[in-house]
Chains A and B, each alone.
Chain A
Amino acid sequence: MEFLFYMGDVFTPINFGLLLLGTIGGLILGATPGLSPTMTVALMIPFTFKLEPQQGLILLGAAYTSTVAGGAVSAILLKIPGAPANIATTLDGHTMAQKGEGAKALQLSFIASAIGGLFGVFLLIFLTPVLAQWALAFGPSELFWLAILGVTVIGTLDSSSVVKGLLSGCIGLWLATIGFDDIMGAQRFIFHSSVSGGINVIPALIGLFAIPQVITMFAKGPKGTDAEIIVVQHHPIGKAFNEIFSRKRALAIGTAIGSVIGLIPGVGGQIAGLVAYDQSKKMSSESAKFGTGHPEGVIAAESANNAMVGPSLVPLLTLSIPGSPTAAVLLGGLLIHGIFPGPTLFTQYPQVVWPFINSMLIGQILMCVFGLLIAGWAANVARVPPAVMAAVVLGLAVFGSYSVQHSMGDVYVMASLGLGMFFLERFGFSAAPLVLGLILGPIAEANFMQGAMIANATVGQMAYFFTGWLNWLLILIVVASIGYSIWMELRQRRYTTKEDAQA
């Protein structure tokens, strides 16, 4: 119950103000199609430099929570998911809005999000310290395999091609080695003065997530917003609460599935929402109503995608392995404040980590309250022409990257990586494993080198890295995730080929 001791820190004027700012800003940005939670959090990092670590993390955590929930606004009112996590919400949410139940759908979505989110954060609160204690037993070999696991799991599960996912991870790991070697001080791959100090994670994150989005908007050409926003009718909030509690099964399924999926690195909110929707449909006595504007569809999808937010931070805070691209961005936010997550985080920085987690708890409630208040208005941001959005994001990316170290080199790195990522994405590569490689590269290398030194002085490298039940378990998970993804890819291909043949 240590978290209760730090609960008061959330309510200091600055911290609470930042929590409100992050929540409201996140809701509005989340409702904007094209601005993903990851990109929003990445663009917000430069604004945390001047803040204390605790304050910066509160702002980023609030933005993460509310952008996921805010995406439901455009999903329901415009049939455009604000983020991939809201895809399942469009299935019934928009149909409800078309039937004149837009307000009800929004209310169900925010209440379900808050309940799912609260459960997820409680899981984070009670699971993280236990896992952190367990993680204290990890030595260099286990930490090395853990870093490799982080890259391979996201590389395989988050990508449509296993080979390209792993290749993206390798590119990220290579980028992480650019600069001076920590042990011998030797120069490695310094092909331009901009990267002489290595690649700074923050400009890289901004470039990798923001610039491809900007160029994608350019690629669509001069285009207005033809989205028709459905007018929201009044609906009593009490009825929405009654509706939620009369459909407890959908809420429980969504919350449970979201929480479990959040704990698995690499499986994001999109999967959580779709799996919860599917399972809820299968287990419902009214399964035929799904897709026709059924409240259970909205409840299951939204409770799931917010329930995964808290658990997705468990591997990050205990093992310094980000469970999702947004968690990777949050890791960047921690690193710029000199905080390195891991098993000792809760003993070294309790004054930072507990208020951060507590703020996510309070943030869920604020997100629900403000979401209900501003949902109808927030949908109007979808009217902002893509041209304006692209130019705004580009400007923010350039200023944000420069402000990290007051260096033009960071702007060049941001722009180069961003442009490269746009083209890579067009050929089936994914940004998430590349980012994970870039972030986990130094962890993997430091532990690999440390492990090699210990191994040379003791049992030898093969025995050190390939024996012990924990090493075996981690290697097994790496192999299993690759094997599973290859199997899924082959199955998908066979299915597609069969369909093509039938057509």
Chain B
Amino acid sequence: MSTDLPRNQHIIASGLISAVGITVAYTSFTQEPAGAFVFPRLISSVFAVLAIWTFVKAVLGCSKVGAGISGVEMRNMLPGLIVTLIYAFWAAKELGFYTATTIAFFILLTIYDPAPHNAPMTWIKRVLITAGFIAVMYGLFAVLLNVFTPREIFS
């Protein structure tokens, strides 16, 4: 069963890419004004053909390159992936960059740091690393580069 996993993953991945390729090609050949889509037509045709080729190879089990994602890897990366998605797509704007970064950084550190969670020193270290990182980011972006980030929720 486990040996079929990469093949199924290859089929799903190449199927999605084929769907994008076909959609792009369809859009290129149907949208107006046609003059604006001359170059997209050219590349989307190649895109769609190569994507379908890859999909057919995956269905036939001939996809040799790419190991896919194992169950263990998926389990490992899922919490980090969720934090990343929430941080980039919601928290940074809604909570403010520095607040969101502090929270995301601390959570990621807590999840992926192998140090024992029951030792007080571990937590002190994590808080200090997070504070140090935010201080450096503030110094670099707010002070040095004058980047005005979205308004902080606590400000």
Chain A contact patch, size range: 35 or more
| A388-436 residues at the B interface, CB under 8 angstroms | 388, 390-392, 394-396, 398-399, 402-403, 406, 408, 411-412, 414-415, 419, 423-429
Please judge, given known A-B contacts A391-B105, A395-B101, whether A167 and B88 are in contact too, CB under 8 Å.
no
**How far, in Å, is A122 (CB) from chain B's closest CB?**
35
Structural contact, A411 and B88, CB atoms closer than 8 A: yes
A188 touches B37 (CB 8 A): yes
Q: Which of A350-396 contact B (CB under 8 A)?
A: 385-388, 390-392, 394-396
Residues of A within 8 A of B69 (CB): 219, 423, 426
- In the complex, A423 Cα to B73 Cα: how many Å? 12
> A47: CB under 8 A from chain B?
yes
Q: Does B9 contact A (CB under 8 A)?
A: yes
- Inter-chain contact B36/A390, CB cutoff 8 Å: no
Chain B residue contacts of A174, Cβ below 8 A: 24, 40, 43-44, 47
Which of B32, B33, B42, B88 lies in contact with A398, CB distance below 8 A? Answer: B88
Interface residues of A in 167-182 (CB under 8 A from B): 167, 170-171, 173-174, 177, 181
Find out whether the CB atom of A408 lies under 8 angstroms from the CB atom of B93: yes
Tell me the nearest residue of chain B to A226, going by C-beta: B114
A215 to B60, CA, bound (A): 30
Check B80–A218 contact: CB distance below 8 A: yes
Give CA–CA (A486, B75) in the complex, Å.
36
List, in ascending order, chain A residues with CB within 8 A of B57's CB: 163
The CA of A389 and the CA of B8, in the complex, are separated in Å by 32
Known contacts being A184-B33, A387-B112, A394-B84, is A167 close to B51, with CB within 8 Å?
A: yes
Question: Residue-by-residue, is B106-147 near A (CB-CB < 8 Å gives 1, otherwise 0)?
Answer: 001101111100000000000001000100010011001111
| A 220-235 binary contact with B (CB < 8 Å = 1; else 0) | 1111100000000000
Nearest-neighbor residue (CB-CB) of B142 within chain A:
A399
* B153 in the interface (beta carbon within 8 A): no
- Who on chain A is nearest to B105 by CB? A391
In the assembled complex, which residues on chain B have CB atoms less than 8 Å from the CB atom of A411?
88, 92
Select which of B40, B53, B108, B145 is within 8 A of A391 by beta carbon. Answer: B108
Q: Which residue of A lies closest to B14 (CB)?
A: A427
Chain B interface residue count: which class?
35 or more
- Tell me the bound Cα distance from A392 to B72 in angstroms: 24
Q: State whether the Cβ of A183 lies closer than 8 Å to any Cβ in chain B.
A: yes
- Could you tell me the distance in whole angstroms from the C-beta of B11 to the nearest C-beta in chain A? 10
- Rounded to whole angstroms, the CA-CA distance of A236 and B150 in the bound complex is 54
Stretch of A291-299, A328-336, A441-449 that contacts chain B: A441-449
Specify which of B54, B105, B114 is in contact with A222 (CB 8 Å cutoff). B114
Report yes or no: B149 in contact with A402, Cβ–Cβ below 8 A.
yes
Whether B147 pairs with A171 at a CB distance below 8 angstroms is no
A390 to B80 alpha-carbon distance, docked (Å): 10
Q: B46 in the interface, Cβ–Cβ < 8 Å?
A: yes
Q: Are A406 and B147 in contact (CB under 8 A)?
A: yes
**Which of A218, A386, A412, A448 has the most chain B CB atoms closer than 10 A to its own CB?**
A218
Residues A427 and B47 in contact, CB atoms below 8 Å apart: no
Q: Is B155 an interface residue (CB 8 A)?
A: no
Q: List B contacts of A399 (CB < 8 A).
A: 97, 101, 137, 140-141, 147, 149
Set of chain A residues within 8 Å of B97, measured between Cβ atoms: 398-399, 402
Known: A448-B39, A452-B38. Is A170-B77 also a contact (CB below 8 A)?
Answer: no
Nearest opposing residue in chain A for B35, CB measure: A184
| A188/B9 in contact, CB under 8 A | no
Q: Are A164 and B89 in contact (CB under 8 A)?
A: no
Docked-complex contact A222 and B112, CB < 8 angstroms: yes
* Most chain A Cβ neighbours within 10 Å, of B24, B43, B97, B149: B43
* A46 touches B (CB below 8 Å): yes
* Contact indicator A427/B66 (Cβ below 8 Å): yes
- When the two chains form the complex, which single residue of B47, B79, B105, B129 contacts A171, counting CB atoms closer than 8 Å? B47
> CB distance A415 to B85 under 8 Å?
yes
| Interface status of A49 (Cβ within 8 A of chain B) | yes
Please name the residue on chain A nearest to B6 by beta carbon.
Answer: A427
Please name all residues of chain A whose beta carbon is closer than 8 Å to the beta carbon of B92 when the two chains form the complex. 398, 402, 408, 411
Residue of A50, A163, A412, A419 contacting most chain B CB atoms (<10 Å): A163
Interface centre among B36, B68, B80, B88 (most CB of A within 10 A): B88
Among A223, A396, A423, the residue within 8 A (CB) of B13 is A423
Most B-side CB within 10 Å, residue of A186, A223, A408, A426: A426
Given A47-B140, A218-B76, A402-B147, are A177 and B84 also a contact pair (CB < 8 Å)? Answer: no
Distance to closest chain A CB from B26 (angstroms): 12
CB distance from A429 to the nearest CB of B (A): 8
Interface residue A166 (Cβ < 8 Å from any Cβ of B) = yes
B36 touches A181 (CB 8 A): yes
Task: For B89, give its contact among A188, A221, A391, A415 (CB under 8 Å).
Answer: A415
Q: Which residue of A lies closest to B88 (CB)?
A: A415
Contact status of A387 and B113, CB under 8 A, knowing A167-B50, A428-B65: yes
State in angstroms the CA–CA spacing of A170 and B36 once bound together. Answer: 18
User: In the complex, what's the smallest C-beta–C-beta distance from B113 to chain A, in angstroms?
Assistant: 5
CB-nearest residue of chain A to B110: A387
The chain B residues found within 8 Å of chain A, CB to CB, are 9-10, 13-14, 17, 21, 24, 27, 31-33, 35-40, 42-44, 46-47, 50-51, 53-54, 57, 63-69, 72-77, 79-81, 84-85, 87-89, 92-93, 97, 101, 104-105, 108-109, 111-115, 129, 133, 137, 140-141, 144-150
Q: List 22 A-B contacts (CB under 8 A).
A: A49-B145, A161-B66, A163-B54, A167-B47, A167-B54, A170-B21, A174-B44, A177-B39, A177-B40, A215-B84, A219-B69, A219-B73, A220-B76, A392-B133, A394-B84, A394-B108, A398-B92, A399-B97, A399-B141, A425-B66, A427-B10, A427-B63
Q: Which 6 A-B pairs have the closest CB atoms?
A: A428-B66, A428-B65, A218-B80, A387-B112, A221-B76, A186-B36
